[in-house]
Amino acid sequence: MDNAFQIQRIYISQAFQGMGLGKQLFEFALQEARDLGCDWAWLGVWERNFKAQIFYDKYGFEKFAEHDFPVGDGKVDRDWLLKLKL
């Protein structure tokens, strides 16, 4: 994916969830990507993080790949890679 902006991490403390802060930060990141002239935004989300998947789906992100990563003790988790055309 050429000319892409990666959103690495957005975490909101549980005490502050539900106040719209995650939405504000996320929309700021997307606007930064647009301002930089990027064609795509992409990110990874843990395959079992259903709350985040619903959040990203509302913005129109689509799954385009999967990525396995070690988390210790021989365990491997999987991220879904999502993209959005800006």
Helix, strand or coil for residue 77?
Answer: strand
Instruction: Give the active site residues.
Output: 56
Tokens encoding 86: 């800006």
Residue 16 CA: distances (Å) to CA of 12, 21, 31, 66: 6, 8, 23, 30
